[in-house]
Amino acid sequence: MIFKLNKFLVLLIFFLASLNLLSEESLKPKNEYSLVINEIIQILDRNHFKKNIKINEQRVIDNFLVNLDKEKTVFTSGDLNSYSTKFKNIYNLDEIFRIYENYSNRSLELIGYQKEVVNLINASNDLNTTEFIKKSRENEKRFNSLDAIKNYHALLIKNEFINILLSSDDFESSKLKLLKRLKNRVKSLKRIKSDDIFSLYTNSITSLYDPHTNYLSPKSQEDFEINMSLSLEGIGAILSTEDGITKIVRLIPGGPADKSGLLKVNDKIVGVASQPENDIEDVRDWRIDEVVRLIRGPKNTKVRLEVIPNSSPDDVLGRVIEITRGLVKLEDQAAKKKKVEIYRPNKSYNIGVIDLPAFYMDFDAFSRNQFNYKSSSKDVRNLLRELKDEQVDGVILDLRGNSGGSLYEAYSLAKLFIGKGSIVQVMESNGSVQPLGHTRGIQNYEGPVMVLVDKLSASASEILAGAFQDYKRGLIVGSNTFGKGTVQRLENLTYGQLKFTEQKFYRVSGKSTQNLGIIPDINLPYVFDSEEVGEMALENSLPYDNISSLEYEPFNSTSNIEMIQSFSKKRVSDSNLHEYIKDQKTQSKNEIDKKLIPVNYLVRKSEKRAQEEKRLFIENRFRVSVGLKPYLNFQEFLDADPEELKEFSEKMVLEEAARILIDQINFNKPKRLSSSDFR
């Protein structure tokens, strides 16, 4: 897509429909709205972690207008000046609704104009202009006139036509498909309610605090709960909407999508067939709840999805996948173990791997005082016992993709490896700090251990990894983690709910896990890492900082890190997978760095062919180097089962992690330092 919305609007649209068009419903403020705004401001002033936020009319209206028209393709510069001048009071909702009505009317006019442009296109030659559009107009100046905006929208719709034509190569069907998209945008806007506009405005206030502070209207709250419950039923994915496109926000560990390996975070779903025999339905510009309901279905049935991978530089490079629906059960997310055997001269090493996809706990059973309630810490303790009986030389705790869960489980699990001691510090909004951990306890496992993380390791995963790093209990290997170091709470309002940030995590060393995440001791380029994912990618996220360190006694098991890093770096640089990943990133960066898109069918067709040839070359060079059969053509690559390469990549990740741990074993013996040694 051409448009690029800020992260705040992405989160907001998770609850709303596309806001590009005009609703036929009469939209006006409800009586309770002003009271809700007052409640929100009072709660945030009193309880939000971030203090002394100045909420004034100028900041609010500027934020609202930016969020409404981020790409600057609806309002002229004169429109914005007029709206800013008239807005004198944050409780003046009549003015906000007038602005939105103007936005909607203008959007409808522009879509009508785009429809005229499409109807006038008679051949592909009409799509061969010498003009360009920008990938993003976010940092550009606004147009000075409506005519200039219309001219740009003509280019936008021609570019969209080119995208469709490049995929189908059928002119008339491409035109019909595009006209249907425009019709869908009108239908979506007709469902916009007053609550949606109020939510957009109210979140223009709450987003001034941080990106995790949001207002949920009663309908938004219901949609959120439906989406969360659907994550455990269907394909097992959390979805959101950006620019009218459904995106994968998170894959539920153990769910059908996660197990299939066919979907990844930030992949786009642009088409759905609820049954395999049905035609693919184009779901661009659909409401998120409509897309979710189409994807849903009874377990053991199949759904087909048209997907544009996040790694794809162009929306035309997509593929159709099929996933069998199912239920995500607690046991599907349970910790599991495996072993990796590494041969070294004069010795063979057995390394145990514990895959922990989530910090889970059966709270109902726990609250009923049932002894055998299921939890991640209990499961890991049992797996450690089994691995010790199997006489492994060390253990890798795999937290890749673990987005968090129970805080109690995080420090209970840390106790298994560290024993007694604080694990994390929690700062309240009033500035008070509470350490959490265990004043008494023994290690269940005293042997060598490593923690494996990636960019999707978040929250409780970062607390655990930070504790390992601070206590020098074991090396942290992988990529920088997500950086989610805050805690949110829900509070009921007169109308709807408010989710706001009230606490912040700090490590025992005093460092925050917020924003920067956990920086690994040894970087492993094989694991998932993306600049588009993480707390730093969210607008107005709380900053990294630090507080006073607690007193704690570290181990001595993570010395000689530089030497271990150099050994790993040499092995990685010599591997075929490293070269493959580097080529992929270079290719992707070259496409991302292109700021202008030619609105020319022949040029774009040539570019598409070149992209396909380059991607096919990269894939086949790697496949041949590791003994796999090369793809005959690009379509065969798109249709290929990703499990083959996924299994190979996973094997390389765990084997290199095991080699790093073996180097750690040979250099260090895990022993807790005495207080005198620490000094």
What are the strands of the beta sheet with 449-453, ordered from one edge?
A: 336-344, 347-355, 394-398, 449-453, 475-478, 522-523
Stated as kind and residue range, the H or E segment containing 425 is strand 421-428
Q: CA of 383: how far to CAs of 164, 378, 474, in Å?
A: 51, 9, 18
**Backbone phi, then psi, for 141, in 5-degree steps?**
-75, 155
The three-class DSSP label of residue 427 is: strand
Closest CA to 360 of 231, 442, 454, 461: 461
Torsion of CA 225, 227, 233, 236, to 10 degrees: -130
How many CB atoms lie under 10 A from the CB of residue 371? 5
Tokens of residue 225, six digits: 């709960």
Query: Over 80: is that where the pLDDT of 405 sits?
Result: yes
Q: What is the per-residue burial (b if ≥16 Cβ within 10 Å, else e) of 297-328?
A: beeeeebbbbbbbbbbbbbbbbbebebebbeb
Closest CA to 353 of 260, 425, 450: 450
pLDDT of residue 578: 82
Q: CA of 543: how far to CAs of 94, 260, 547, in Å?
A: 35, 36, 13
Furthest C-alpha separation in the chain: 84
Report how far residue 447's alpha carbon sits from residue 20's, in angstroms, rounded to the nearest whole number: 58
Instruction: Give CA angle at 27 (25, 32), nearest 5°.
Output: 135
Contact criterion met (CB below 8 Å) for 364 and 378: no
Query: Over 60: is that where the pLDDT of 184 sits?
Result: yes
**What is the arithmetic mean of pLDDT over 28-34?**
92
Q: For residue range 521-555, list pLDDT tens digits in order.
A: 999 988 888 788 889 988 889 999 999 999 998 98
Report how far residue 564's alpha carbon sits from residue 585's, in angstroms, rounded to the nearest whole number: 25
Least confident piece of the model among 273-277, 490-494, 675-679:
675-679
Contact criterion met (CB below 8 Å) for 462 and 511: no
Contact criterion met (CB below 8 Å) for 149 and 192: no
pLDDT of residue 315: 61
Query: Over 80: is that where the pLDDT of 222 sits?
Result: no
- Of 94-103, 241-250, 632-641, the range with the highest mean pLDDT is 94-103
Query: Over 60: is that where the pLDDT of 498 sits?
Result: yes
The contacts of residue 270 (CB under 8 Å, 6+ apart) are 245, 246, 282, 283, 284, 306, 307, 308, 315, 318
The crossing angle, in degrees rounded to 10, of helices 376-389 and 407-418 is 20
Stated as kind and residue range, the H or E segment containing 233 is strand 233-234
The crossing angle, in degrees rounded to 10, of helices 93-120 and 194-206 is 110
Tokens of residue 532, six digits: 């588009």
Closest CA to 569 of 622, 530, 522: 522
Report how far residue 613's alpha carbon sits from residue 634's, in angstroms, rounded to the nearest whole number: 7
pLDDT of residue 220: 64
Q: For residue range 105-127, list pLDDT tens digits in order.
A: 999 999 999 999 999 998 877 89
Tokens of residue 504, six digits: 């912040």
The contacts of residue 347 (CB under 8 Å, 6+ apart) are none
Average confidence score pLDDT of the chain: 85
Residues constituting the chain? 679
Tokens of residue 200, six digits: 């957009």
Tell me the DSSP string of 551-592. Answer: P---BS-S--HHHHHHHHHHHHHTSHHHHHHHHHHHHHHHHH
Which domains occur in the chain, in start order?
A: 7-215 (no CATH), 221-327 (2.30.42.10), 330-488+498-565+671-678 (3.90.226.10), 576-665 (no CATH)
Contact criterion met (CB below 8 Å) for 441 and 387: no
DSSP β-ladder status, 497-506 and 522-523: unpaired
Report how far residue 652's alpha carbon sits from residue 395's, in angstroms, rounded to the nearest whole number: 17
Contact criterion met (CB below 8 Å) for 36 and 493: yes
* pLDDT bracket for residue 229 (50, 70, 90): very low
Query: Over 60: is that where the pLDDT of 227 sits?
Result: no
Query: Over 90: is that where the pLDDT of 450 sits?
Result: yes
Query: Over 50: is that where the pLDDT of 410 sits?
Result: yes
pLDDT of residue 462: 96
Residue showing tokens 């499961």:
379
Report how far residue 532's alpha carbon sits from residue 510's, in angstroms, rounded to the nearest whole number: 27
Classify burial at 262, counting beta carbons within 10 Å of its beta carbon; exposed 0-12, middle 13-18, buried 19 or more.
buried
Closest CA to 649 of 307, 349, 400, 396: 400
Report how far residue 516's alpha carbon sits from residue 482's, in angstroms, rounded to the nearest whole number: 8
Residue showing tokens 């609202």:
64
Closest CA to 657 of 450, 348, 384: 450
pLDDT of residue 582: 84
Contact criterion met (CB below 8 Å) for 87 and 64: no
Report how far residue 671's alpha carbon sits from residue 656's, in angstroms, rounded to the nearest whole number: 24
Contact criterion met (CB below 8 Å) for 642 and 261: yes
Report how far residue 150's alpha carbon sits from residue 379's, in angstroms, rounded to the nearest whole number: 61
Query: Over 50: is that where the pLDDT of 3 sits?
Result: no
Report how far residue 428's alpha carbon sits from residue 505's, in angstroms, rounded to the nearest whole number: 9
Residue 558 CA neighbour count, 13 Å, CB half: 19
Whether pTM > 0.75 for this model: the answer is: yes
Classify burial at 40, counting beta carbons within 10 Å of its beta carbon; exposed 0-12, middle 13-18, buried 19 or more.
buried
Report how far residue 167's alpha carbon sits from residue 581's, in angstroms, rounded to the nearest whole number: 27
Q: For residue range 566-610, list pLDDT tens digits in order.
A: 999 999 888 888 888 888 888 877 777 788 999 999 999 999 999
Tell me the DSSP string of 335-358. Answer: -EEEEEEEEETTEEEEEEEEE---
pLDDT of residue 224: 56
The three-class DSSP label of residue 522 is: strand
- Of 22-26, 279-283, 304-308, the range with the highest mean pLDDT is 304-308
3-state SS of 8-56 is HHHHHHCCCCCCCCCCCCCCCCCCCHHHHHHHHHHHHHHHCCCCCCCCC
Radius of gyration of the chain (CA): 27
Report how far residue 318's alpha carbon sits from residue 329's, in angstroms, rounded to the nearest whole number: 31
Report how far residue 424's alpha carbon sits from residue 75's, in angstroms, rounded to the nearest whole number: 48
DSSP state of 381: H
Query: Over 70: is that where the pLDDT of 221 sits?
Result: no
pLDDT of residue 313: 56
Position with higher pLDDT, 153 vs 170? 153
Query: Over 60: is that where the pLDDT of 1 sits?
Result: no
